[in-house]
Amino acid sequence: MSTTTELQLLMFAQIGIDIIIIVVFIFVIRRLRYPKKGKSFDKTVRILESLFTDADKIAQQFKVQLEEKHHLIKRLNEQLDKRIGSLSGLLQRADALLSSHAQQAADTECDPLSLNSQERQIIALAGEGYDLEEIAKRLSIPKEEVKLVLDLKQKLSQIGKEEGLS
């Protein structure tokens, strides 16, 4: 059940309690017009007074709960708005990165042997003696990508040596 539905349900419950209080009040007023003498009348009045007191307490509790729900919904909406804003910003950054990456990819299509900065970093760290896991951790990229770059470098080196020998 959604919070809006719960809020509506609590409002209807509050209205129902108010109607019951009004009906009981009208009943008591009619009974007081024709007072019965004796202890039973006083007992009835005390019972009705306690009933009114309890009904009023319950009505106040419902009112407090409604206000709490309203504030909770308001706070949740504000948090959702903030998250939507941050997600929108992330999407814009991702779109910008994708377009710049697409431009870089188009530039490197002209020269397939050129390396981007991340590939250079991978090769440099491997040259310093770091293993796959450490390189992946330092650059925050998957190990498979590091392995692919190093394997390609090794194959290109072998091809270069073979062409140099031929």
pLDDT tens digits for range 66-107: 999 999 999 999 999 999 998 888 888 878 877 777 676 666
Rounded-to-integer distance, Cα 33 and Cα 4, Å? 44
Which residues have a Cβ under 8 Å from the Cβ of 125 and sit 6 or more positions away? 134, 135, 138, 139
Rounded-to-integer distance, Cα 116 and Cα 139, Å? 14
The DSSP output letter for 113 is: T
Nearest C-alpha neighbor of 128 from the set 96, 150, 97: 150
pLDDT tens digits for range 98-153: 777 767 666 655 454 556 788 888 889 988 998 888 998 888 888 888 888 888 88
The token pair at 143 is: 């190990």
Is-above-0.75 flag for pTM? Answer: no
